[in-house]
Amino acid sequence: MPHAAPLEPTILVIFGAGGDLTWRKLIPALYNLYLDRLLPERFAIVGVARKHLDDGAFRRRLREGVDLFSRRGPADEVDWDRFSAHVAYLSDDLNDPASGPALSQRLEELERTWGVRANRVFYLAIPPEMVEAAAAHLQRLGVCRDCQRDRLVVEKPFGRDLATAVALDRLLSGMFAESQMYRIDHYLGKETVQNILAFRFANSLFEPIWNRRYIDHVQITVAETVGVEERGGYYDRSGALRDMVQNHLLQILCLIAMEPPISFDADEIRNKKVDLLRAIRPIRAEEVHYSAVRGQYGKGTVNGRAMPGYREEPGIPSGSITETFAAFKLYIDNWRWQGVPFYLRTGKRMPARVSEVSILFRSAPHQPFPAAAVENWQPNRLVIRIQPEEGIVTRIQAKQPGTRLQLGPVDMQFRYQDAFSVAPPEAYETLLLDVIRGDATLFMRADQVECAWKIVAPVLDAWESVPPGDFPNYPAGSWGPEAAELLIAHEGHSWLQHTLQEDRK
């Protein structure tokens, strides 16, 4: 949607311009924003990395990424030429105190040509351990000082644990104002994740039943078929808990379980999320075993293709004990959710790429039907499909056609692709545009990040102090280790088959 007020001239500087994120996500997103005429009239993208490269070679590489990963498919020649005229490359070493003037000069040149002090966005698309050096570099150059105009985008994971997140935050807050910081979790930019707020708070239908009286338990699954691709080096230092649970899964949990906000003001939404995170019952060290399960895939088959085990993937040490699967059971100690289990699981090399939230409702208090009529009875459930085939599915009981009284489950479905004729933007399109506009609603605040680390900290500690004896403990192409089934079976529950699989039966 075009925005009423024209956007101010903006220079986007991407540190880590040679990396995967820039190639697969950032440039395709910026290109699509350009095609949708959503970027400011005067904008420039400056890619910064160590390697020596000229603008032409840099643009050719980016074009390949757009052709492969843009939601609109391969780029049109003319459009690409117009867009790429805004893109330049700069070789710079963040760790070299002598380097940098070239960046300041480039910014000043652009601004001189435009005749204005532009908004400057510095996007740190770099590994977490380089964030400090990049921030110090910006500080040295003095190019990110204007609290209104200059912004810093930091990718998750923010820190490696609670202590490093606090230390990093202290360091960054000594250099930049909180209003300049955009801590990105791309799940928050996904249409369906944002729709959770619309679904819960724009409809009066659901809020009255959104509590412990009616909801039996909640399951959040984020499953991927991919392994670690070319990111073995990063992933092996991270693992599923740091890579997915501490951020994406807890953010989804926040949106599902938070209290209604009084406005859509960035801080109001973030306050409500922090309240929710603070209400999550801390996992005691001696209970980690009952509350969390880890796994690592061995070789197996995904979609009919043989896959290597995690330890055979490129860049992964043969004795790696990094988890590629994590499942959690959490409780929220507040009036709304007391006693309702929330089960979270995520893993790589699962049988299907699917992210969905399933809300399982309690049984009807009384069954007036004869026993034979309810043989196929199932409790109501509501499934929010985040990806793919985004939508919402409600399972209800209906009388099956026929002369006998026989009840059976049927699904009412809302699918994005059927309901709306336009393709939704990619998460990074939404989020990059928000940074350019200066809207931090979908970004994480420091206290939110810290609360999320506190929740996973006991599990991190326990897992680090006792190495897993049974890795690999699930074959590629399965739904994770058996212990994940037991985790949820304790309360008499079982992981749901995801709804896509059921549809396709």
Beta carbon nearer to ligand BG6, 150 or 224:
224
Other C-beta atoms lying within 10 Å of the C-beta of residue 71: 12
How many whole angstroms separate alpha carbon 107 and alpha carbon 20? 25
Instruction: Give the nearest distance from C-beta 322 to ligand BG6 in angstroms.
Output: 12
Neighbours of 105 (CB within 10 A): 11
The contact pattern for ligand BG6, residues 233-252, with x = CB under 6 A and - = no contact, is: ----------x---------
In whole angstroms, how close is the CB of 427 to ligand BG6 at the nearest point? Answer: 6
Residue 393, CA atoms < 13 Å, CB-side half-sphere: 18
Least Å distance, CB 202 to ligand BG6, is: 25
Among residues 92, 191, 224, 356, the one that binds ligand BG6 under rule CB under 6 A: 224
Distances in Å between the Cα of 191 and the Cα atoms of 232, 387, 423, 449 are: 29, 10, 10, 22
Of the pair 226, 306, the CB lying nearest ligand BG6 is at 226
Q: How far is the CB of 243 from ligand BG6 (least distance, A)?
A: 5
Which of 450, 159, 475 is CA-nearest to residue 325?
475
Of the pair 169, 243, the CB lying nearest ligand BG6 is at 243
Q: Is the Cβ–Cβ distance between 340 and 329 less than 8 Å?
A: no
Spatial distance between the Cα atoms of 223 and 228, rounded to a whole number of angstroms: 13
How many Å apart are CA 367 and CA 292, to the nearest integer?
36
Burial 113-135 (b: 16+ CB within 10 A, else e): eeeeebbbbbbbbbebeebebbb
Tell me: does residue 390 bind ligand BG6 (CB under 6 A): no
Query: How far is 219 from 357, CA to CA, in rounded Å?
Result: 6
The 8-class DSSP code of residue 241 comes to I
Nearest CB to ligand BG6, comparing residues 185 and 216: 185
- Of 216 and 390, nearer to ligand BG6 (C-beta) is 390
Catalytic residues: 248
Residue 384, both tokens = 């929010």
Minimum CB separation from ligand BG6 for residue 183, in Å? 13
* Residue closer to ligand BG6 (CB basis): 92 or 243: 243
CB of residue 2 vs ligand BG6: minimum separation in angstroms? Answer: 26
Q: Shortest Cβ contact with ligand BG6: which residue?
A: 243
| Count of residues that bind ligand BG6 according to CB under 6 A | 2
* Helix residue ranges per DSSP H, 85-158: 101-114, 131-141
Binding site for ligand BG6 (CB under 6 A): 224, 243
